[in-house]
A = this chain, B = another copy of it.
Amino acid sequence: MTVAEQVALARAAAYKLAVLPTETKNRGLLRIAEVLLDEQDAVLAANATDGEAARTSGLGESLYKRLLLNERKLQIIVDSLRSVAALRDPVGEVLLRRELDDGLELGQVRVPIGVIGVIFESRPDALVQIASLAIKSGNAVILKGGSEAKETNRLLHSLLVRALSETDPAFDGAVALVEGREEIGSVLTMDGQIDLMIPRGSSELVRYIQDNTRIPVLGHADGVCHLYVDESADPGMAIRLTVDSKTQYPAVCNALETLLIHEERTDLLPDIARALKGVELRGCAETRRHIDAAPADESDWSAEYNDLVLAIRVVPSLDAAVDHINRYSSHHTDAIVTADGARAEQFLSRVDSSSVLWNASTRFADGFRYGLGAEVGISTGKIHARGPVGLEGLTTTKYRIVGEGHIVADYADGRMTFTHRDLS
């Protein structure tokens, strides 16, 4: 099948999925979980084939780790399918009910977006996670995985398709897999057919997608996250949050990249530096008067190291911290440590990022930790969903009006007037 044929089938499936009962969608998800458990050995064998090829081709260590599945990772995939099945179905939720006039009622309801294209790298578990969120929210999905996980993705996809077709014919064509570089090209030209693209992977991948399609793109390219240690910060908390934000998993988007510290708290710098043993520090001139650090230059303030490297800058005030963040941050996740509630409120209100935190690690910015069940990604865009995106971010809304033959001429000519009364 060509990509265009797959997308046309997905489009047709999307109209069926949009009105599919929650219970049928849940049965599909639970059936996928069963089939994956039944076929665990085959999945691990396909993954081993990909793993060997990756070793031969010299795939980087961190991508290699993400590629590999094992029994524990498969169990997490299965648990995640069950937890998505247990989530409330957002489709059909009534957001607004308003009487416009006698016998004329307006409603606003949540509906699926339609056909969603997902491009992901390396991690084959992303295929199942994203497909499950798409199905639960009534969307069809076009998946394009990384070539390094080709065998695993093919098998996972065929098992998904089998489980869904055993559940209900409405799922036919709802989950499509495309392969190859030219296929990405075709997918990106299909605005009008595909409603939303979600790239999951490196910032280069995300920027490439953003630059090469008219389809709206949900996600983030960079995660340049800050922790600001305010004047009144508790010393132990400041150190603990710095260490967790920077080192708990440095390769991810919500890890700390720049530490800002109030000029009255530079006394904490030596302890922070000690606690960050093994982390390369790059500091401003004032920082370097207190600790051993390489000189930071302008490029460090907007760098996403994704590694054990930290930029440190001393700032004269809360205002300066907010200004620095609004200028250099990627508007992903930024935090303050302070004992002063009024100053925290200033920071939380004025920092223009998708997640802002007070006295908590930047690493909390995540769909699972926020209780969204799972996430399709984290959006730093301001249009549509922002921050970790779960089921609701995969829906849009529709206005529904029910009347008794009402015409606009009656209102335009002043014979009738609107009541505009919100209903429970």
Contacts and interface: CB of A to CB of B under 8 A. Distances in A.
Given A369-B100, A370-B100, A397-B387, A360 B418 contact: no
A18 B360 CA distance: 24
Given A369-B100, A383-B216, A240 B405 contact: yes
A354 B106 CA distance: 13
A244 B399 contact: no
Given A370-B399, A387-B398, A399-B387, A408 B114 contact: no
Interface of A: 15, 18-19, 98, 100, 104, 106, 108, 111, 113-114, 195-196, 210-211, 214, 216, 218, 234, 236-237, 240-241, 243-244, 248-249, 326, 337, 344, 348-350, 352-361, 363-365, 369-371, 381-384, 386-388, 396-409, 411-412, 418, 420
Nearest to A388: B399
Contacts of A355: 398-401
B100 A356 contact: no
Given A370-B106, A398-B355, A360 B406 contact: yes
A74 B361 CA distance: 53
A398 B347 CA distance: 13
A408 B361 contact: yes
A403 B356 contact: no
Q: Is the interface of A mostly helix, strand, loop or mixed?
A: mixed
Given A114-B352, A216-B216, A398-B353, A371 B100 contact: yes
Q: How many copies of the polypeptide does the oligomer hold?
A: 2
Given A381-B216, A387-B398, A240 B359 contact: no
Contact of A382 (B370, B381, B396): B396
A406 B404 CA distance: 56
11 contacts: A98-B370, A196-B382, A240-B407, A357-B401, A360-B407, A363-B408, A364-B403, A364-B406, A369-B411, A387-B398, A388-B399
Contacts of A356: 398-401
Contacts of A352: 15, 18, 111, 114
Given A218-B383, A386-B399, 19 more contacts: A18-B349, A18-B350, A100-B371, A111-B352, A113-B382, A114-B382, A210-B214, A234-B405, A240-B405, A354-B399, A355-B401, A359-B405, A360-B401, A360-B406, A361-B403, A361-B408, A364-B403, A382-B396, A386-B398
Contact of A371 (B218, B363, B418): B418
